[in-house]
Structure 1
Amino acid sequence: MKQLFRTNSLLTFLMALLWTATAQAQNTQTVRGKLTDAASKAPIIGASVVVVDSNPLKGAASDIDGYFKITEVPVGRVTLKITSVGYEDALLKDIVVNSGKEVVLDLALTESFRNLDEVVVTYDRAKDDRVSNNEMATVSTRAFNPSETTKYAGSFGDPSRMAANFAGVSGANDARNDIVVRGNSPASLLWRIDGVNIPNPNHFGSLGTTGGPVSMINANLLAKSDFMTGAFPAEYANALGSVFDLRLRNGNDEKHEFLGQVAFNGFELGAEGPFSKKSKASFLVNYRYSVFALMNSIGFKIAGTPYYQDFTAKINVPVGKRGNFSTWFIGGKSHITFLGKDVAADADAYGSENLNSRPKFNSYMGAATYEHRLSDKTVGKFTLSTSRSYQDYSSDTVVYNGTGNDKQVVYESLNQKALFKNEKYSANLSLSHKFNSRHRISGGVITDLMLFDFTNTMYPTVAKPYESQILNVNGNTTLTQAYGQWKYRATEKLTFNSGLTYLYHALSSKSALEPRVGASYLLNSVSTLNFAYGLHSNLQPAWMYFIQTRQADGSYLQTNKNLGFTKSHHFVAGYERNLTENLRLKLETYYQYVFDAPIENDTATYFSGLTQGADFAPTVIGNLVNKGKGQNYGVELTLEKLLSNNYFFLLTTSLFNSTYKGSDNVERSTPFNSKYVINVLAGKDFLLGSKKNVFTISWKLTTAGGRYIRPVNKAASDLAGTTVYDDANAYSKQQAAYFRTDLKFSYKINSKHFTQEFALDLQNVTNHQNIYQQAYNPRTKRVGTAYQQGFLPIPFYRITF
């Protein structure tokens, strides 16, 4: 009876708290920001900024420095309309206003093409807040708003997993957030933050890829960013398939604000604010620590506990009227231990009973930038940056006697030890000039000094009774990029983008010259036609150049030193149409011809550099030459409804084919050729408590064709006592189709001075068994199948104040 009384009292208290939160008066917040010219970064004076759905109408005008402030905006989702003489109107929809945090926007307007006596065209892409930040991008570019990582089910608050919902992207792998675009390897993605090319920004990142299980990029700290899937502008180089151009937001420069969060990515604390009330200088800091590690430390033991933590900081300091200095830092470390004795007899998605593995991963990256307006039409930027990634891996072979729960470890023997260190120091100088509303040019030079230290030793086994040093080298090299771009608005309907980039790699003494061109034509007031072409080049991973091939006399020879760039011609055509004010249709088709991919020189095999990134560990092969070929082609459909009438949806469909040829000249599917990907996302908001609190239900469904794999050769595996693949039939077998559906419930409470968000993300609600991998178990002499994540409920809580 006493326990029942306590339970009822707790329920009564929670109900009273909820009623109090929903019954109080309408809460408001400040919406403010800065308006600048998109090309020259000059402040826009006297622009009108209006909250179009407010009653009575609320708005403000930008001051002499481009700043505007609108106070007492009711919490919820609002739309801003921005107008200024000589500039195209901008319409920003779905801006989330919470009571616990000010909305601070950094907005750029495009100079109007037309004169007052010219005909007015009623549709303009600048009015679409889904348009990219980069004005030189013509096609295959999607604006990425960080709020989408929490709005949609199944995203884990991870930008990479959110991008997997976009057309052309395949993310049918629950274990990692690899971004596979149009059949290209995830290693062909370029990561960039605030104009700086960065290494893999994920915990437990593996060689030969750019993904990982947990992201170090914190969506709470991002501003509007760009995601590009092909034929991208000339400023982006050393990337074959896609670009994720992220931007860190500045801290609040007028008010101190704080954040606390518990989610899949960890326990999180954040703070931001001004250094003083006398300047616009601001700071932003955030720290996260693994939820699983903390649970393990208080007694909830988990086999293979992932330990990870990361820290992000940014400082922004205006310098006079024309300059701005900023510096940022992101650092993270992670490690995990998989013990074979903790794994079931059948193959497991994250380990094998015959292997102890201990991966460690540390990484940091940071930059300092000074940007200066040389005139009202010219802006220059200079950035110094550095990054370091450290990957340490060791593994043991585990031998047992007995079976099932009675199995006993007979011995454990070290079979591999690897250490990979990469450091980079970069200087980036860029200049942009706007001649007038028709012509804009930009260019720059990026120089990277790269230092490396690679060791990878395989110790004696039954199959190879000798020690093998795959890698044992340290040194440095440079990569230099120079580029120029020109945007020409021939008429109000027709726009051309063009550019040229040059790359030189000192280690291999190889260079690449890459032209880029694009055109956009407004067919009528609601639709546009786009076309783009780009020649793209991608270096091989640094360690690949130093792979050692064992010679007959027992000596070693580095046989990949002369490898150059993998290259591709990428053609894209697209059509966009605004079906209604909030509903958009987008259709794109593309063809990508890949050439100069690494393949084996002295043996006819399946291998190609285009297959790298399919597994956690890279395929280590010497004697490679740039003679491989491949092709990717397909069609993509996007149907998107922005949030209006309290609901939204996103439908993307990709139909494609991705093939390659190794040195055996046999055309095969790449391991990323799933043939099709379909994503359906939808959500509905229910406004409660005078419309200031929001209950949201969101849903996601993903289905994709199974990936092509290398089949296990059972007979050869029996003889070798380890997994041996049937490479003669590599990537000829397709796994079963991938299917997963997620459901998310969230509730946001806007109190007077703080906002709380509660959510429950139900991952794979049907508990569908999607195949992860197959592997041979030498003790049971069976080929076991490992499956991906089953049903998993993920709780979420965030408070901002």
Structure 2
Amino acid sequence: MKTLTLLTLQLLLLFFGVTAQNSQTIRGRIEDDVTHTAIIGANIIIEGTNKGSSSDIDGNFKITDVPIGRHNIKISSVGFLPRQLNQLVVTAGKEVILNISLIEQVRELNEVNVKFDRQKEKSTTRNEMALISARSFNIDDTKKYAGALGDPSRMVANFAGVVGANDSRNDIVVRGNSPLGSLWMLEGLNIANPNHFGALVSTGGPVSMLNNNLLDKSDFLTGAFPAEYGNATSSVFDLRLRNGNDEKREFLAQMGFNGFEFGLEGPLSKKVSYLVNYRYSTLGVFKQLGLNIGTGSSTPIFQDLNFKINAILSKKSTLTFFGVGGSSSIDLLGNDIDTTKQDLYGNENVNTRVKYQTLIGGLSYHYKISTKVFTKLTFGISKTYQTYQGDSISMDTRQAFPNGESLFETQKYSLNWRTDYKINAQNTLALGLTSDFINFNLFNKRIYHGNQDKVYVNTNDNTNLIQGFTQFKHRFTNAFSVVGGLHFQKLLLNNKNAIEPRLAINYQFLPNHALSLGYGLHSQMQNIYAYFVQTPTSSGVKYTNKDLDFTKSHHIVLGYEYNISEHLRLKIETYYQKIMNVPVEMRASSYSALNSGASFAPTDNDSLVNNGVGRNYGLEFTLERFFDKNYYFLFTTSLYDAKYKGSDGIERNTAFNTHYVVNALAGKEFLLGRKKTNALNLNIKFTTSGGKYLTPLDLNTSKIKHEAVFDETKAFSEQQGGYFRIDLKASYRKEYHKSSLEFSLDLQNLTNHKNIFQQSFNRRTNSITNEYQQFFFPVPMIRYTF
């Protein structure tokens, strides 16, 4: 009742236009970047004001009465490199809580003029071991970029080396690799696909379950990553959740195309804070209300819950409980489709019914053994559930006949331990061990002509993936660092092993100029489905894929970074990736597992061996102006080539080879109102890339078999037309007394350009048809924080 009364009062204040609050509180904690011990006496200064503070014995600081708007914050402490946070947004509806880590300064005999400031927020990754091919991002980035929809995957698609695989999904292609080469991590745990409608054999989906309102500063790595990351060959999302407000209760209400959501955070006690957010799909709500929204029976319904509870047990120990869970379902009924129009969700000749559930939970214990040693133990559970039921629709009677069904269930129990030892300011040692015990129940069959079954997978089993790492960082000077390490992993399913050396160097050879070099051997197990594809023999079913080894890749990167000015940066990276041990068929064919992930459905090839190879190389440019004086821009260009060889020995383009991608983003903020506390933001994004390669359809054979038949001898030989898209986002934020209201409208594919997605065979018309990506689509959103 109290919450309802508070909400009512807030809405009354909103409608009557109460004068905006002039100030807000900024507070947080200053700590050592390795040991997480408190830094006492650090100075925190807000530029352009007389506001500031110092950290206390616990590293905490608090600055009250900070004016609403954007501010630059400088943090300094004797013996540590200074750090600066630029253009931090301060609103009336929410306190700003910062957890800031500082790097200890290396004492140098000779004075060096160090102008290259990696401690600026946008230039510094959360992981201090990541010296190359890494970029940090935060909640503001996911909200700011046009077309991102608050989704981390769609947001990083603007970075150099990254290509969006599909407008309707957030799968990403990194440096020519399959989306399946990516690793998702949350609070240090390796997690399952964190997306709604996210299949077992994919790493993306149409809507992210990770709510960006809960994200803290996180890292995205695109190759040659440090030794602590394993079981990935292309990229890593190292995501963190922020802590809830530990002093006052705060609320969030939001409505957009992705859903209705409500968030709550605050203290449970003096040393325990919580943060929780629940969302239910907007279209699902409309359907429950009986409103016709023009999608017929094809209404995506989903809901998710994100939470984090943080408890400070003592000055040395902290306990954290966190989780992400969601469910989603949709019925795509061919008989409901208007055959005179393109349908974005289904196929007129089939019925598809799918359901998904994902649960991710973790419990972490952080302990500071001493002022130099920090250890962390995390236990996690990831569960996934996916069902599929399909029908084939008769061309004459339009009667539906079953054509397939599947059930994929997994339960992963993870134990993760790591320790960081700061020997001194120059040397840091880290080591860790991870065990992922996986139970799985997999079943997939296809029904031919309504009565003949072919079972591709039918297993109920378990396995364990064990990983370990050690890595060491030495800082010769403040401008010269080297990180080396080893990663080890073993799959108990077939006792395959992988030992992977890693090395990275970063050297500031001139003021504002730096060179980086990175090398890594990376290995990844196959998708668990692939190991259990059945091979029928006269003596019974055999698992001819069960002995598959890890796919491996050598990745070497050379980078150059030039800080042209305080807010303008140029970054260039070139890379070469040699991929080995790729599963291909025993017989001569064009098949390669490097192309998996292009269709988001399982491949049922059996009798596979690790004889395939591939190679990717490219050149990436980034010119970025960080937000300052009310505007920013980001320009990225990637030139690359991705090729593979199947068991037939012929070199071909991969399914993800577009040769180039160009992104141009810009944004401008206009301050409005008498006190300039309200803000109008305009953001635009331009993207173009080369077309993907496809395997041509064999039209005559397709007509005879009444289904799509591809000419595999010409695999990925025909290139589609190029991709072009412009997105425009307008948002307005108004400040009220202790609350903030924000509206936004994201106009996706503003020019309604027809980007081809793929070719398909329509057995009703006996013709090849083009399927297109998303047309012009407006996405409104309203957010209220109080």
TM range (shorter): over 0.9
Partner of 1:590: 575
**Change beyond 3 A, Cα 1:345–1:778:** same
Partner of 1:456: 444
**Structure 1 residue corresponding to 2:558, chosen from 573, 588, 594:** 573
Please give the secondary structure, in 2, of the residue aligned with 1:459: strand
Give the CA deviation at 1:344. Answer: 3.5
**Structure 2 residue corresponding to 1:306, chosen from 300, 307, 315:** 300
Please give the secondary structure, in 1, of the residue aligned with 2:275: strand
Give the CA deviation at 1:227. Answer: 0.1
Q: Any stretches of 5+ residues in structure 2 without a counterpart?
A: 1-10
In the alignment, the residues of structure 1 paired with residue 121 and residue 325 of structure 2 have an alpha-carbon distance, to the nearest angstrom, of: 35
**Structure 2 residue corresponding to 1:515, chosen from 501, 509, 514:** 501
Letter in 2 for 1:36: E
Please give the secondary structure, in 2, of the residue aligned with 1:126: coil
Partner of 1:632: 616
Letter in 2 for 1:179: I
Q: TM-score, normalised by structure 1?
A: 0.94
In the alignment, the residues of structure 2 paired with residue 291 and residue 26 of structure 1 have an alpha-carbon distance, to the nearest angstrom, of: 32
Say whether residues 1:373 and 2:368 are aligned partners: yes
The worse-fitting range, judged by mean Cα deviation, of 221-230 and 644-653 is 644-653
Partner of 2:6: none
Say whether residues 1:539 and 2:525 are aligned partners: yes
Please give the secondary structure, in 1, of the residue aligned with 2:733: strand
**Structure 1 residue corresponding to 2:453, chosen from 467, 488, 493:** 467
In the alignment, the residues of structure 2 paired with residue 534 and residue 116 of structure 1 have an alpha-carbon distance, to the nearest angstrom, of: 33
Partner of 2:636: 652
Say whether residues 1:157 and 2:150 are aligned partners: yes
**Structure 1 residue corresponding to 2:408, chosen from 397, 420, 423:** 420
8 Å Cα contact 1:27/1:750 also seen in 2: no
Partner of 1:405: none
Partner of 2:712: 727
Please give the secondary structure, in 2, of the residue aligned with 1:467: strand
- Paired residues for 1:440-451 under 5 Å: 440-451=428-439
Partner of 2:68: 75
Partner of 1:778: 763
Letter in 2 for 1:62: S
Partner of 1:759: 744
Give the CA deviation at 1:774. Answer: 1.5
In the alignment, the residues of structure 2 paired with residue 742 and residue 67 of structure 1 have an alpha-carbon distance, to the nearest angstrom, of: 41
Give the CA deviation at 1:426. Answer: 1.0
8 Å Cα contact 1:333/1:362 also seen in 2: yes
- Paired residues for 1:598-677 under 5 Å: 598-601=583-586, 603-677=587-661
Give the CA deviation at 1:349. Answer: 3.7
Partner of 2:87: 94
- Paired residues for 1:5-154 under 5 Å: 20=17, 24=19, 27-54=22-49, 57-114=50-107, 118-154=111-147
8 Å Cα contact 1:763/1:791 also seen in 2: yes
Per-residue deviation, residues 692-726 of structure 1 (Å, max 9, x unmatched): 00001110011111111121111110010111111
Letter in 2 for 1:762: L
8 Å Cα contact 2:276/2:307 also seen in 1: yes
8 Å Cα contact 1:166/1:652 also seen in 2: yes
In the alignment, the residues of structure 2 paired with residue 65 and residue 264 of structure 1 have an alpha-carbon distance, to the nearest angstrom, of: 43
In the alignment, the residues of structure 1 paired with residue 568 and residue 278 of structure 2 have an alpha-carbon distance, to the nearest angstrom, of: 38
Give the CA deviation at 1:493. Answer: 2.4
- Paired residues for 1:133-532 under 5 Å: 133-276=126-269, 279-298=270-289, 299-301=291-293, 302-303=295-296, 304-345=298-339, 348-401=343-396, 409=398, 411-461=399-449, 466-532=452-518
8 Å Cα contact 1:240/1:567 also seen in 2: yes
Letter in 1 for 2:599: D
8 Å Cα contact 1:348/1:787 also seen in 2: no
Q: TM-score, normalised by structure 2?
A: 0.96
8 Å Cα contact 2:20/2:735 also seen in 1: no
Structure 1 vs Structure 2 CA RMSD: 1.6
8 Å Cα contact 1:748/1:758 also seen in 2: yes
The worse-fitting range, judged by mean Cα deviation, of 301-310 and 233-242 is 301-310
In the alignment, the residues of structure 1 paired with residue 45 and residue 478 of structure 2 have an alpha-carbon distance, to the nearest angstrom, of: 26
Please give the secondary structure, in 2, of the residue aligned with 1:147: helix
Partner of 2:784: 799
Per-residue deviation, residues 357-377 of structure 1 (Å, max 9, x unmatched): 011110001100001000000
In the alignment, the residues of structure 2 paired with residue 17 and residue 244 of structure 1 have an alpha-carbon distance, to the nearest angstrom, of: 38
In the alignment, the residues of structure 1 paired with residue 592 and residue 660 of structure 2 have an alpha-carbon distance, to the nearest angstrom, of: 23
In the alignment, the residues of structure 2 paired with residue 349 and residue 733 of structure 1 have an alpha-carbon distance, to the nearest angstrom, of: 23
Give the CA deviation at 1:182. Answer: 0.3
Per-residue deviation, residues 123-182 of structure 1 (Å, max 9, x unmatched): 331234431011111100000112111111111111110010000000152111002100
In the alignment, the residues of structure 1 paired with residue 694 and residue 81 of structure 2 have an alpha-carbon distance, to the nearest angstrom, of: 51
Letter in 2 for 1:283: Y
8 Å Cα contact 2:122/2:137 also seen in 1: no
In the alignment, the residues of structure 1 paired with residue 110 and residue 711 of structure 2 have an alpha-carbon distance, to the nearest angstrom, of: 71
In the alignment, the residues of structure 1 paired with residue 507 and residue 108 of structure 2 have an alpha-carbon distance, to the nearest angstrom, of: 19
Give the CA deviation at 1:81. Answer: 0.2
Per-residue deviation, residues 369-416 of structure 1 (Å, max 9, x unmatched): 001000000001111111101111110000133xxxxxx52x211111
Partner of 2:693: 708
Say whether residues 1:550 and 2:536 are aligned partners: yes
In the alignment, the residues of structure 2 paired with residue 614 and residue 164 of structure 1 have an alpha-carbon distance, to the nearest angstrom, of: 17
Give the CA deviation at 1:114. Answer: 2.4
Letter in 1 for 2:631: Y
Please give the secondary structure, in 1, of the residue aligned with 2:448: coil
The worse-fitting range, judged by mean Cα deviation, of 509-518 and 542-551 is 542-551
Number of residue equivalences: 770
In the alignment, the residues of structure 1 paired with residue 90 and residue 241 of structure 2 have an alpha-carbon distance, to the nearest angstrom, of: 19
Please give the secondary structure, in 2, of the residue aligned with 1:337: strand
Partner of 1:9: none
8 Å Cα contact 2:592/2:646 also seen in 1: yes
Per-residue deviation, residues 250-295 of structure 1 (Å, max 9, x unmatched): 100011000000123211100000012xx22100111000011111
Q: Any stretches of 5+ residues in structure 1 without a counterpart?
A: 1-13, 402-407
Give the CA deviation at 1:527. Answer: 1.2
8 Å Cα contact 1:701/1:741 also seen in 2: yes
8 Å Cα contact 2:21/2:736 also seen in 1: no
Letter in 1 for 2:653: S
In the alignment, the residues of structure 2 paired with residue 659 and residue 533 of structure 1 have an alpha-carbon distance, to the nearest angstrom, of: 20
Give the CA deviation at 1:116. Answer: 8.4
In the alignment, the residues of structure 2 paired with residue 596 and residue 386 of structure 1 have an alpha-carbon distance, to the nearest angstrom, of: 30
In the alignment, the residues of structure 1 paired with residue 113 and residue 717 of structure 2 have an alpha-carbon distance, to the nearest angstrom, of: 56
In the alignment, the residues of structure 2 paired with residue 330 and residue 84 of structure 1 have an alpha-carbon distance, to the nearest angstrom, of: 37
Per-residue deviation, residues 725-754 of structure 1 (Å, max 9, x unmatched): 111111001111010001111100011110
In the alignment, the residues of structure 2 paired with residue 795 and residue 587 of structure 1 have an alpha-carbon distance, to the nearest angstrom, of: 36
8 Å Cα contact 2:21/2:738 also seen in 1: no
In the alignment, the residues of structure 1 paired with residue 657 and residue 300 of structure 2 have an alpha-carbon distance, to the nearest angstrom, of: 30
In the alignment, the residues of structure 1 paired with residue 508 and residue 33 of structure 2 have an alpha-carbon distance, to the nearest angstrom, of: 21
Partner of 2:702: 717
In the alignment, the residues of structure 1 paired with residue 588 and residue 346 of structure 2 have an alpha-carbon distance, to the nearest angstrom, of: 32
Letter in 2 for 1:360: K
Please give the secondary structure, in 2, of the residue aligned with 1:156: coil
In the alignment, the residues of structure 2 paired with residue 669 and residue 741 of structure 1 have an alpha-carbon distance, to the nearest angstrom, of: 27
Please give the secondary structure, in 1, of the residue aligned with 2:139: coil
